[in-house]
Amino acid sequence: MQSSQELDLARLAPAYDSILQLVPYQTGKPVEELTREYGVSDVVKLASNENPIGCSPHVTLAITEQLTQLARYPDGNGYYLKQALSDFNNINIDCITLGNGSDDLLDILARSFVGCDDAIVYSQYAFVVYSMLAKIQGATGIEVPAQRFGHDLNAMRQAVLDNTNTKLVFIANPNNPTGTGLESEAIREFIASMPASVLVVLDEAYIEYSPETNNRTLLDEFDNLVIVRTFSKAYGLAGLRIGYALSSAPVADLLNRVRQPFNVSRIGLAAAAAALADQDFIAQTCKVNESQMRWLNKQFDALGLAFVKSHANFIMVEIEDAVAIHQALLEQGVIVRPLIGYGLPNWLRITVGLAEDNTRLIDTLRSILVND
Ligand SMILES: Cc1ncc(COP(=O)(O)O)c(C=O)c1O
């Protein structure tokens, strides 16, 4: 029905102008879509940094046990999963917030702490959701130039000091899409130099692939640190949407007030607890990733392609005219991620797959480059 007055979205949405600048998040092309569009049936997806092995077999049983209970809401406090995360991370249960994927937690953080007059600081080439959140909140997004594709913490510190309205600093470690990593000591020094009025959000979506890095103990030192993790990557549960944040208890209290009451599903809670308990699966995942990453590095060297050393389960490779190469790969059933949206038109991000996936990628890429 037409209302008598015209709908004025610009007045309705407080951050209207800023939201209009938003480019919707580009997800990796689903396998089904590629099959439909190009008629290729044997598709290899190396575009969303998922775990190519799948997930722990214990997850299936945990999910099956929940199937008779689907009419019932989940435990809104996620008690059992939080208890397991508390034991695993050696942290009080009051310091944990659960999310519908870690994206949900990044969103809850922005909604809790950032208003129109505030600023969010993040690095050039950092995970794109940070700049999107600044736009959604109608806040100022301050993108600090990267240093060798990674975070320049000195420049980020200066940006915070120059912009006293900064509320959040996002640091992705390892970073997506560049795969760069930071030393724990550098992160510690950075947080120590932050005003208490600024929250540092350390996004550790890929931390399982850098087991030598341990920033958890920084939470004992700093009340203004939040660590965000996910079950989507090494744990292989991207389809279920589960993440968590570790923080000081007062910050967690606030985040838990802001989040939706049932933001993690019954199946998600059970699956995450089962996945967390199977650390052998994580060890196996890292082992496969490490050996396949080494193999891919050698192949890129042999093809004369430059790449950025990665601390995660994907790798950024320099290829002239990457958008066209991405398209040619798609047409042959191999999905990777072009990085033009990040201002990197000559780079592709490739998720490390199983040996057969990686062989298919390299063979296809070689044939495209030879025929170019
Ligand atoms: C750095 C980083 N943070 C957060 C996320 C969000 O992951 P999810 O919402 O699946 O937990 C991703 C996903 O690609 C990511 O790369």
Residue with tokens 């006293």: 164
Distance CA 273, CA 191 (A): 31
What value, to the nearest 5°, has the Cα angle with vertex 227 and ends 191 and 58?
155
Query: Which ligand 1 atom minimizes the distance to the CA of 238?
Result: 10
Residues 6+ apart with CB under 8 A from 104: 241, 243, 259, 263
Is the previous residue joined to 177 through a cis bond, with omega within 30 degrees of 0? yes
| Ligand 1 close to Cβ of residue 103 (< 6 A) | yes
Inform me whether the pLDDT recorded for 39 exceeds 90.
Answer: no
67-278: what fold?
Aspartate Aminotransferase; domain 2 (3.40.640)
Inform me whether the pLDDT recorded for 26 exceeds 90.
Answer: no
296 contacts 358 by C-beta, under 8 angstroms: yes
Distance CA 48, CA 239 (A): 11
- For residue range 253-262, list pLDDT tens digits in order: 999 999 999 9
Inform me whether the pLDDT recorded for 355 exceeds 80.
Answer: yes
Q: Ligand 1 pocket test: pick from 55, 232, 244 the residue with the most ligand atoms within 8 Å of its Cβ.
A: 232
Residues 6+ apart with CB under 8 A from 328: 368
- For residue range 108-147, list pLDDT tens digits in order: 999 999 999 999 999 999 999 999 999 999 999 999 999 9
- Give the rounded percent of residues in the chain with a pLDDT score beyond 70: 99
Closest CA to 243 of 257, 226, 218: 226
The domain limits of the chain are 9-53+280-371, 67-278
Inform me whether the pLDDT recorded for 217 exceeds 60.
Answer: yes
pLDDT score for 3: 59
| Ligand 1 close to Cβ of residue 56 (< 6 A) | no
Closest CA to 86 of 266, 256, 246, 265: 246
Over residues 298-326, the mean pLDDT reads: 97
Distance CA 189, CA 86 (A): 26
CATH number for the region 9-53+280-371 comes to 3.90.1150.10
pLDDT score for 146: 98
Over residues 321-348, the mean pLDDT reads: 95
